[in-house]
Amino acid sequence: MPPAYVALEGGHVIEGRGRSPGTARGELVFTTAYTGYEESLTDPSYEEQILTFSYPLIGNYGVREERLESERVHPRAVLARELTDDVADWLTEEGVPAVDHLDTRDVVTDIRDGGAMKCGIAVGKAATPEDALAELDRCVGMSDHTEIGAQVSVESTETYGAENDGETIALVDCGVKFSMIESFVERGATVHVLPHDATPADVRDVDPDILFISNGPGDPENYGEAVSLVQDLVDEYPVAGICLGQQIVSLALGGTTEKMAFGHRGVNQPVIDLESGRVVMTTQNHGYTVDDPGPRLEVAQRNVNDETPEGLTGVDCDVITRQYHPEANPGPEDTLDFFDEVLTMTDAPSSRAIPCDD
């Protein structure tokens, strides 16, 4: 196997075994998920990141196309204790560098202690530590990826479930997962997937019942078009969102967001509903969070571990959002009923005629 080098922010270089050749740079993060590696690797929320798997063996049930969440692998590179040949071959086909035979316990500890960090990777017969350090030098922070939405979004409107006769959803694609769309379609909805920079006219053209903002990668403050869209339409349509979508909705309604130290990435994050007291296990993948939801939103659910907002509802507008991924894939299915809740938003008495105070 060819040599592989991982350069961490600060200059420390780790040597491993190369499983897929190439060079890469990105924000180094980790996931605690022990299954669902196919779904994780094709989740657009990992764009511009280098993904470390904390579980020691990745690939023990192969690679199946029906499990993929997008058209391609999104992490810039992959680190693991051990990768099977199936996964290594897949990553090679995708042109994504991969390294194993690392002590991922140390890597995860470094991220937990120092936060998500810049990283450079070099894999190949002629690779050197200097190659990895050169990639590290060219790496920029996640907030500097100002056009990241365009990297993961559709370029024009795509429609799913056109034969359905249920609610119609205008879904703004900031990096949506296939299973999120499928969760609505299998409940009888028609989903029009719009580009991340959709305009109010684009939304009105599909005549939706609900405006939905998807998950996606990067800093929510770099999604200015989506923020403006919600501001313009929140009093015209019910609005819902997941993950990055929650952060965008909060920014649109006067809230603030902040970058987390190392984020939430895994399938065992406990969330409590503040009204019912019910605790559910959730799938999460985000490095930013809502700090202050703003005057038109209130916190309905919180993370049990660190009390970050996991669910928001409208005070004077028809809004519901979730920070976690209710569709799971991978993960527990405790919160699939969120999609039913979204589809019944049009049944509730409307408060959309109430103007925003500011």
pLDDT attached to residue 233: 98
Is 34 annotated as contributing to ligand binding? no
Residue in 27, 38, 82, 327 annotated catalytic:
327
| Neighbour tally for 93: CB within 10 Å | 11
Q: Is residue 133 within a helix (H) or strand (E), and if so which, with residue range?
A: helix 129-138
Predicted confidence (pLDDT) per residue in 43-95, tens digit: 999 999 999 999 999 999 999 999 999 999 999 999 999 999 999 999 999 99
* Residue 244 counted as an annotated binding residue: yes
- The pLDDT score that the predictor gives to residue 354 is 35
List the structure tokens of 9. 């922010």
Distance separating alpha carbons of residues 175 and 183, to the nearest angstrom: 16
% of the chain exceeding 90 in pLDDT: 97
Q: Are 243 and 269 in contact (CB under 8 A)?
A: no
Q: Please tell me whether residues 84 and 14 are part of one structural domain.
A: yes
| Residue 164 labeled ligand binder | no
* Together in a domain, 133 and 152: no
- Quickly state the pLDDT bin for 347 (edges 50, 70, 90): confident
> Global pTM?
0.96
Catalytic, out of 139, 174, 243, 317: 243
- pLDDT tens digits, residue range 37-51? 999 999 999 999 999
Run of H or E residues at 185: helix 178-185
Q: What is the pLDDT of residues 238-263, one digit of tens each?
A: 999 999 999 999 999 999 999 999 99
Among 97, 124, 140, residue at a domain's last position: 140
Let me know whether 99 and 197 are in one domain. no
Task: Indicate the average pLDDT of the chain.
Answer: 96
Secondary structure element (H or E) that encloses residue 201, with its range: helix 200-205
Check residue 349 and give its pLDDT. Answer: 55
Q: Is the pLDDT of residue 356 over 50?
A: no
325 catalytic, yes or no? yes
246, 104: one domain: no
Range of the domain at 263: 148-347
9 annotated active-site: no
Omega prior to 330 cis, within 30 of 0: yes
User: Per the domain annotation, does 358 fall within a domain?
Assistant: no
- In this predicted structure, the answer to whether residue 320 has a pLDDT above a threshold of 60 is yes
For 112-124, what is the mean pLDDT?
A: 97
Q: What mean pLDDT is predicted for residues 281-293?
A: 98
**Could you tell me the end-to-end alpha-carbon distance of the chain, in angstroms, rounded to an integer?**
61
Among candidate residues 78, 109, 140, the one where a domain is terminated? 140
Domain count, the chain: 2
Is 243 a residue of the active site?
yes
The verdict on 86 and 196 lying in the same domain is no
3-state SS class at 159: strand
Both 285 and 245 in one domain: the answer is yes
Residues 66 and 87 in one domain: yes
Check the annotation: does 161 bind a ligand: no
pLDDT of residue 68: 98
Of 140, 159, 181, which residue is a domain's last? Answer: 140
